[in-house]
Structure 1
Amino acid sequence: MTPTKPHRKNNPAALRLKLLDCAAKLVVDHGLQSLTLESVAREAGVSKGGLLHHYNGKDALIGGLFDMVVEWFDTQVDAAMDRDETRPARFSKAYLQVIANMDMSVPAEKHLSVLILMLSSDPHFCARWNAWVDERLQQHSQTDAAPMARTLRLAADGLWLSDLGGGPDSDPSIRRAILQFLETIDPGHTTKRPHPGKGGQ
């Protein structure tokens, strides 16, 4: 009796992740315009038909890539958030920390570069990103509605813009110094304006 060869189980989830990782690498190394079904399939070592079995076109593949990097960012922010659910600007400070601590020498953190490139190239992705931010702000409306919390998020967005243009503030040591300075600001502080007729004249 001829022994049968062991049947290797397929792992669709692992293959989908591999395809998205290969897509992310292509975007980081060569830009979003380099992302084609053929190039991703070649990078992943699968046939184009095998790729299409999981993503039925380029739009589906790019959409999956966007979902992956946003989920990654969301997880990083959750991990960075202070455990005190009443601490002022807890979400905004975590948002800033994730971006300011980005180290492009760490492969996993190149996800942020993918996100930056996608947001800068397509209004559709900007709208989806804004929807994610809005949802998180609603979740943390009790702690992150003050002007200083918004300032921290805008500072983080400015660091992203600097990265996109390869600006001088992209240096890791400078980013750490910026983060340390911003973390000294009391996010719960608000400046009271003098009431008309009570010393404000």
Structure 2
Amino acid sequence: MSRPPHAREKVLDAFERLLIDEGARAATIDATARAAGVSKGGLLYHFGSREALEAGVVARLNDLVTADVAAMSAAPEGPVAYFLRTSAMDGDPLDRAIIAVSQIAQGGNALALDALHTMREQWAELLEPHTADATALALVLLVSDGLYFNNAIREGGIAGPVPRGEAMSALIALVETATRPAR
């Protein structure tokens, strides 16, 4: 039997959900407390301000990126294939954290902007030895961006054109062929 999430995590989950579903303006302290099912005082006990809530979501993203980089590094299929395959969002915690922090960053939050830049740099640093040169690395990153973007566009609940299964495997094989370092 799983334990219910700690109150602090419930608040972060609620804040993240509001950022994703309704945007940064709607993600107020009062709305977050209501969505988390806690009193405003209870929320403020864990997060003394809106800035502290934002910092909590950014810290969550940083932790998830650290875990993702470790998984990418250890992936049996290799970092490039792992990176591209996981670029097709599945609504996992990392996807949700990226979207939430992006909402915060759009408001000019320097901590959020830095976290997103650092995330990209960590991925690029891991991918770089597995690509032929800077242009090949850029191709891998841009294909990932396209997969992520197309999946983020939902019209009537249907994702944009994102390959799955064999189509994804074929795309990965093509990108790896085009970007692989000469041996």
Answer yes or no: same fold by TM over 0.5. yes
Aligned residues with identical type, % of pairs: 22
Distance in 1 of aligned mates of 2:162 and 2:123? 28
Structure 1 residues not aligned, in runs of 5+: 1-10, 191-201
Residues 12, 57 of structure 2: 8 Å contact kept: yes
* CA–CA separation in structure 1 for the residues paired with 2:45 and 2:180: 51
In 2, distance between residues paired with 1:58 and 1:32?
11
Q: Aligned Cα RMSD in Å?
A: 3.5
User: Does the aligned pair in 1 maintain the 2:8–2:46 contact within 8 Å?
Assistant: yes
Residue number in structure 2 paired with 1:27: 19
Distance in 1, Cα, partners of 2:138 & 2:74: 17
Alignment of 1:182 with 2:171, yes or no, is yes
Equivalent runs, 1:39-118 vs 2, <5 Å:
39-83=31-75, 90-100=78-88, 102-104=89-91, 109-118=95-104
Q: 1:144 to 1:20 in 2, by over 3 A?
A: farther
Displacement of 1:19: 0.8
* CA deviations over 1:23-72 (Å, ceiling 9, x no partner): 11112221221111111111112221221121121011012112213433
Matched residues in 2 for 1:132 and 1:112: separation?
9
| Residue 143 in structure 1 maps to residue 135 in structure 2 | no
Q: In the superposition, relative to structure 1, how do residues 121 and 164 fare at CA in structure 2: closer, same or farther (>3 Å)? A: farther
Change (3 A) 1:67 1:139: same
| Separation (CA, whole Å) in 1 of partners of 2:119 and 2:82 | 15
Distance 1:133 1:123 in 2: 17
SS of structure 1 residue aligned to 2:129: coil
Aligned equivalent of 1:198: none
For structure 2, the residue ranges without an aligned partner over 5 or more in a row are none
Larger Rg: 1
List structure 1 segments (4+ residues) > 6 angstroms apart after TM superposition. none
TM superposition score normalised by structure 2? 0.71
- Supply the distance in 2 between the matched residues of 1:75 and 1:143 (Cα, whole angstroms): 19
When the two structures are superposed, what TM-score results if normalisation uses the length of structure 1? 0.66
